[in-house]
Structure 1
């Protein structure tokens, strides 16, 4: 939990440094639009493939953050195509994590818990679908862990895929749009958007941590 808060703080400090270099006394040179366009032209089809692949790996491999990849996609390809590539990579990564958990972890769970795992709300397809969709809208929840957990449940693959797709579009568009705005010279707008997102995430994590601590104290 503390590691996630630390990463959020570092990310926000980086965004502020990029938007207000004079105030902070730092000299940061970012490539301009023409230079980015030359890189994109030189990369050709490999550019989108690399972005999709990195997003996929970032979802399956938890320590690799996906937000910088989404920002880079928006900066390079704009908010429309950037969002498309980010959503595609995130969806593939989620499906890969779901498949790994379903193929490797589900038999182990059934062997030790039997049908207990399907009791109550966890046996309802509609409830599980809603939980996956809702979790995708909350940036402080671990994207990959939700995918692995869903794979351990009896949630149908098509329901998981649709819920994930619908849930990741807003955040993917926001991050890609931030990257696009920053690259087009409107770094202040991107900064305030990042601060708002980071603030919401940080407060949510802080609330969850405080609530957990309070619950542990009551139990003891």
Structure 2
């Protein structure tokens, strides 16, 4: 009787949908890695999307969505290339949409499938403590979106596993990712135009975005190591 109940819980409609969604993402990623047109690489993306016309932005949004769920896909270089192709504003809007949709899918997978399934997917055990309350976690997520302190996908999965409120998670993610996303697309735009001041800014800001997160992790500012842990 207990075994039947466990099987029923495991194969309910929500879990089945989550598994189907995950398998779809993995299948697309596998197909792309073995396809002649490498849309998941900056060079292949630039050549492939140019031939798609008006469908290019939709393909780009889909790739960024997939990149959050399947982390080996390099989303940051693709955002820079997108900035060179469509300009910083349009590329920034497309990038925010794609990244945000991917974060919601990863959150849903974490909340539905749980820690064991995410470990099988990522090879890592993720812990997100709610002892300090959801408001604190929301601010923490906002900061991790603003600065690349931790992997985008791991934070998304961890928030879902911990059962963080969806509205709080979504707002923190959306607002936090806007500045860094537009910075990446701006870098692509200024490199394409060859603006000296813009290029200088694009060199300085990545140094800050790499150095500051390292200091935060190194000295445990904001008590992040007490709340978020990856093994």
Q: Any idea what SS the aligned residue of 2:87 has?
A: helix
Give, in angstroms, the shift of residue 59 of structure 1: 1.2
Counterpart of 1:87? 96
Matched, 1:78 2:87: yes
Give, in angstroms, the shift of residue 119 of structure 1: 5.6
Cα–Cα, structure 1 residues 118 and 207, in superposed 2: closer, same or farther, change >3 Å?
closer
Q: Any idea what SS the aligned residue of 2:147 has?
A: coil
Counterpart of 1:69? 78
Q: Any idea what SS the aligned residue of 2:203 has?
A: helix
Q: Which of the pair has more CA radius of gyration?
A: 1
Counterpart of 1:180? 189
More RCO (CA 8 Å, sep 6+): 1
Determine if contact 1:54/1:69 at 8 Å carries over to the other structure. no
Cα–Cα, structure 1 residues 165 and 202, in superposed 2: closer, same or farther, change >3 Å?
closer
Larger helix proportion, structure 1 or 2?
1
State the Cα deviation string for residues 131-170 of structure 1 (Å, max 9, x = none): 1111111123211111111111121112211111100000
Matched, 1:195 2:203: yes
Matched, 1:126 2:135: yes
Counterpart of 2:18? none
Aligned length: 164
Counterpart of 1:17? none
Measure the CA separation in 1 of the matches of 2:183 and 2:129.
Answer: 36
Measure the CA separation in 2 of the matches of 1:57 and 1:133.
Answer: 21
Measure the CA separation in 2 of the matches of 1:130 and 1:209.
Answer: 16
Give, in angstroms, the shift of residue 57 of structure 1: 1.5
State the Cα deviation string for residues 82-128 of structure 1 (Å, max 9, x = none): 110000000011111111100001699xxxxxxxx87621xx22122
Measure the CA separation in 2 of the matches of 1:55 and 1:79.
Answer: 16
Q: Any idea what SS the aligned residue of 1:146 has?
A: helix
Measure the CA separation in 2 of the matches of 1:55 and 1:189.
Answer: 29
CA RMSD of aligned residues (A): 2.7
Matched, 1:59 2:59: no
The runs of 5 or more residues in structure 1 that have no matched partner are 1-35, 109-116, 213-220
TM-score of the two chains, using structure 2 as the length reference: 0.63
